[in-house]
Amino acid sequence: MALVAVSSSGAGLFSGSWQQISQLQPRIPSHIRIRRHRYRGDDWYVIQDRATGKTHRFTPQAYTIIAMMNGRRTVHQLWEEALVNLGADAPSQDEVIQLLYQLYNADALQTDAIPDTDELVQRQRQQRQRQMLQRWRSPLAIRIPLFDPDPVIDRLMPVVNPLLGRAGFAFWLLTVLAGLTLAVMHWEELTGNVTDRVLMPSNLVLLGVVYPIVKAFHEFGHGIMARKWGAEVHEMGVMLLVFFPVPYVDASASAAFPGRWQRISVSSAGIFIELFLASVALFFWLAMESGMLSAIAYNVILIGGVSTVLINGNPLLRFDGYYILSDLLEIPNLGSRANKQVFYLLQRYLLRIDSARSPVTARGEKFWLPFYAVASFFYRMFIIMAIALFVAGKYFFVGVLLAVWVLTSVFLLPLVKSLWYLLTSSRIRGNRGRAIFASLLALAVVAGLLSLPAPSWTRSEGIVWLPDEAFVRVRSPGYVSDVVIESGQSVRAGDVLIESSNEKLNLEITLLESRIEELEMLRQQNRVTDLVKADLVDKQLTALREEFESALERRAWLSIRSEVDGRFFMPTPQDLPGRYLRRGDMIGYVIPQARPKVRAVVSQDRIGLVRESTREVKLLMANDPSSEVRATIIREVPEATTELPSLALSVAGGGRVAIDPEARDRARSYMPYFVFDLSPQQEVDERWYGQRVHVRFEHGLEPLALQIYRSARQLFLSKFNV
């Protein structure tokens, strides 16, 4: 909180309430500590209550008065000296009264007046009610304090203090970099079938044990770093994070540290510890066989990696990343002041309240405050709803309960408060009709925007499809001796495209010929002397002739031929001469005379819209987004299938379709898809053949509200079948 100085000239200098407080002799209690901070080039003074850890921020003008409060000067004397010392920047009497009121509410002021015991009791009761309401208003994090961790941290400091210097940071950095490198190298192993691995009942029990332990290390990291810089930590407890109990520590006393990097080190200590634990766990996980210890290590990796990135390290949520960003930007109380700035803009420009005051106190804050308010609100909603949907996918009732809680606390209650403000606030008493009209007009504008027609489309992916016989594949291995048909030339079925040779195969054929001749001579001899041996030789000859015929067939396949009429195309013809070709290698394709088709896949939640409302289809090559081609639907497979036209459509092949983890070597999707055949309306470049393309089914113009409703409905249908 801050005292805003105004000019001392004019009628606003004096106050009608001045006589009631002018003779009071205020002083600052002994449990209050005052430190100077610097934010965005300006000096501020932070008052810290060492008993509660709470901090309050004041301007230098306010501090000039606070510094003179010694219990001997009266309020009137303080103001007169401020007029002399501050000149034009001196506060008015009303602002001095406001300062005293702020200090009194912060329990940072004592006077010679007899305290009102009933009022003190009432204030304590109201403060406890506010703390209780604040703990339970957020469904993402509910805090329940349990004990004072200060004695534990005192005993730990001699052990961990040597690790908090440059050598400790260097060791941490090397460990985390090594872990990150290994995580990239083994990414598929780490992420394969992660949902089922995490949500298995046996793993959930293990996760319930490991998670609090990792978070306990995290929270003690905050407390230890706060103690390193001199702060006291007196509260540790349990936070219900999406109904799951995890430890927390209140290190808010570190907000009084004058050094920005001191405050950042306290905020980031937990993240540092989790990343270190995740890296060490990764080393063990890669070295161990599957089992209990391996599962524990995997859960530590998941907790220290995923939760750090999505939750703790993300500045858009009120966790560690938020406080780090606040100090990096030098904007204290970033979240609350951002919300106040949005409220100010609504009051000033929508409700036309001229007395509304902006919380902006420094240059640059006019941009950062509203930007952060909007970004954090939408990201917070995204995270909470994503968690609710994730949980509801396995535990329907819990997920729905969480979603209802979010909608109530984030949308319904603020809406009720806004209506109450419009109908009862004294600030708009003389302007209430205009404020209500402006609010209704704003709602009408939003409704109008949602009803505006906007382009609607369905995105999918496909493959430029060629029949199997169009692909030129090697049937017999060998070295390329001659490229008979150059790339781009027309060919007919049966034409030789490439000649290759295999000396090992030729030697095998020669040996087989010699062996057959030898056995035929032996058979002739045995027919005269021993008929039984002659029969045995006949059987050997039959086997050898079959092997000989197979070898001849493989030699014939060394002449690679076209199976269809069309135009022969090779991606890299210059690399072929002298190259060794393995069986199954695809060296090119013969493009049929007919225009190729695109085989696309459409998800189940969009199939109805594609079938009923498609007005136009556009194709974009994945590697060349500027190459747009129009297409028409020529065929639809009426039944959904998990067999993909090509692995190029899978995530592993660069596409968006998740592959069934139990069928890694097959083009089989995890969820069923519908297959469409599309015909391009113009010639396509040879580079497109066999390649992945982006497909857009355009549905014309449609109101935004209807599109949002359909997306939400499809989401619920896909998750819950409701």
* Tokens encoding 535: 């029969």
- Quick: pLDDT tens for 349-390: 877 777 788 888 888 888 999 999 999 888 878 877 777 776
Angle, CA 296 vertex, CA 167 and CA 160 arms, to 5°: 25
For 593-720, CATH number? 2.40.30
Q: Is 102 left (phi over 0), alpha (psi -120 to 50) or beta?
A: alpha
**pLDDT recorded at residue 628:** 81
Strands in 417-466 per DSSP E: 453-465
Question: What are the boundaries of each domain within the chain?
Answer: 11-114, 138-330, 332-451, 468-587, 593-720
> Is residue 581 within 8 Å of 601, Cβ to Cβ?
no
Report how far residue 48's alpha carbon sits from residue 55's, in angstroms, rounded to the nearest whole number.
4
Chain centroid to Cα 273, Å, comes to 21
Distance (Å, whole) CA 330 – CA 320: 15
Give 276's contacts (C-beta < 8 A, 6+ positions apart).
172, 175, 176, 304
Closest CA to 216 of 303, 343, 121, 311: 303
Name 150's Cβ contacts closer than 8 Å, sequence gap at least 6: 232, 233, 234
Tokens of 630: 């129009």
The tokens 């225009």 sit on which residue? 595
| Gap between the Cα atoms of 67 and 162, Å rounded | 38
CB-CB contact of 692 with 655 (8 Å): yes
Q: Which CATH number fits domain 468-587: 2.160.10.10, 2.40.50.100, 1.20.1330.10, 3.20.20.70?
A: 2.40.50.100
Distance, in Å, from the CA atom of 376 to the CA atom of 482, rounded to the nearest integer, reads 65
Sorted by sequence, the CB contacts under 8 Å of residue 304 that are 6+ apart come out as 214, 274, 275, 276, 277, 278, 279, 281
Kindly give the parts of the chain with pLDDT less than 50: 1-11, 114, 116-117, 120
Q: Which fold has domain 11-114?
A: Outer Surface Protein A; domain 3 (3.90.930)
CB 219 within 8 A of CB 270: yes
* CA separation for the pair 558, 496 (Å, rounded): 10
